[in-house]
Amino acid sequence: MGATIDGKRIAAEYKERLRLLVEERVEKRLSPLCIASILIGDDKGSIFYMNNQSKICTEIGVEYKKIIIDKNTPQDEILEVIDRLNNDSNTHGIIIQLPLPDNLDEEVIVNRISYLKDVDGLTDINAGKFYKGEKCFVPCTSQGIMELIKSTGIDISGKRAVVLGRSIIVGKSIAQLLLNEDATVTICHSKTVNVKDICKEADILISAIGRPKFVKEDFIKDGAVVIDVGFNVVNGKMVGDVDYENAINKASHITPVPGGVGSMTPIMLIKNTCEGLEDEY
């Protein structure tokens, strides 16, 4: 029987460290830390995420601006909103909730954000710096995943890691972070042949494909670390990509859903914002 990786506990520890950083900022009479979050439309998942972000920011002492824009708003007007935030010295981080409505050009809108305030690490400039190994904002979910893996005490160097999913936000970025730690990484996707056999070779298995309970017990190598990034709703209940109840019998460590990766992502967002201002401390 494996151990559950308690994302809530690890996030709480980070939250306390960040709260102390924010207090230090107040003591130095610097402007209050402020993150602006933009939602275009009324996607329920994004609204849930924003409410969670807002709650955590309040607990830490960070100002959180919710900016909700009608999905029929012309793109030029949306770009003007981003420009105002870029030029506002009291706004330190800007995030935009994805996906965007189909009538908008996601690449143009995301890249309008100043890379210096792009705390979610989505702009082309930050992505380029990330893959070149330069200092930049690292995507929050992947950063949180790495913290959860490291919490197990595993030596990542030399380990075989398998990532299910090739999205820019999670799959590709977590693969790069694992490479940076000297893991040997394989990315599987919808065209991969013999996925189960590849997964069974993994010392570290990460699933980010959005398929409820796709990863079964027989996908998992004895003693593997399993990270479930899935966020699926089945019969009104949130479940991950991994069949947790059975997989825990094979894994040495495994994240639950909820209570795993999702607990870390908003904390990493605030961490990125603080680190972006480190020269002010």
User: Looking at the domain assignment, is residue 132 inside a domain?
Assistant: no
User: Looking at the domain assignment, is residue 194 inside a domain?
Assistant: yes
Q: Which sign does the torsion angle of CA 51, 52, 53, 59 carry?
A: positive
Residues 112 and 186 occupy one common structural domain: no
The answer to the question of whether 166 is labelled as a binding residue is: yes
Residues 150 and 97 occupy one common structural domain: no
Query: What pLDDT is stored for residue 25 in this prediction?
Result: 83
Judged against a pLDDT cut of 60, whether residue 193 lies above it is answered with yes
Residues 245 and 150 occupy one common structural domain: yes
Last residue of a domain, one of 116, 132, 161: 116
Question: Whole-model pTM?
Answer: 0.92
Instruction: Give the DSSP per-residue string, 39-51.
Output: EES--HHHHHHHH
Euclidean distance between CA atoms 162 and 168, whole angstroms: 16
pLDDT in tens, 106-147: 999 999 999 999 999 999 999 999 999 999 999 999 999 999
Contact assessment for residue 195 and residue 207, using Cβ atoms and an 8 Å cutoff: no
The answer to the question of whether 165 is labelled as a binding residue is: yes
User: Looking at the domain assignment, is residue 242 inside a domain?
Assistant: yes
User: Looking at the domain assignment, is residue 134 inside a domain?
Assistant: no
| Listed residue (249, 203, 258, 248) closest to 7, CA to CA | 258
Structure tokens given for 184: 């040997």
Q: What is the DSSP letter of 220?
A: S
Residues 179 and 102 occupy one common structural domain: no
Give me the domain span that covers residue 204: 140-262
Residues 107 and 161 occupy one common structural domain: no
User: Looking at the domain assignment, is residue 173 inside a domain?
Assistant: yes
Residues 51 and 112 occupy one common structural domain: yes
pLDDT in tens, 29-85: 787 899 999 999 998 878 888 998 999 999 999 999 999 999 999 999 999 999 999
User: Looking at the domain assignment, is residue 130 inside a domain?
Assistant: no
Query: What pLDDT is stored for residue 48 in this prediction?
Result: 84
Number of domains present in the structure of the chain: 2
Residues 153 and 233 occupy one common structural domain: yes
User: Looking at the domain assignment, is residue 106 inside a domain?
Assistant: yes
Judged against a pLDDT cut of 70, whether residue 281 lies above it is answered with no
Quick one: how far is CA 109 from the chain centroid? 20
Phi, psi (degrees; rounded to nearest 5) at 227: -115, 120
User: Looking at the domain assignment, is residue 232 inside a domain?
Assistant: yes
Peptide bond into 99 cis (omega under 30): yes
Assign residue 233 the CATH number of its domain: 3.40.50.720
Judged against a pLDDT cut of 50, whether residue 280 lies above it is answered with no
| DSSP reduced 3-state for 75 | helix
pLDDT in tens, 89-112: 999 999 999 889 999 999 999 999
Assign residue 58 the CATH number of its domain: 3.40.50.10860
pLDDT (average), residues 196-208 = 98
Euclidean distance between CA atoms 271 and 275, whole angstroms: 6
Residues 254 and 165 occupy one common structural domain: yes
The answer to the question of whether 190 is labelled as a binding residue is: no
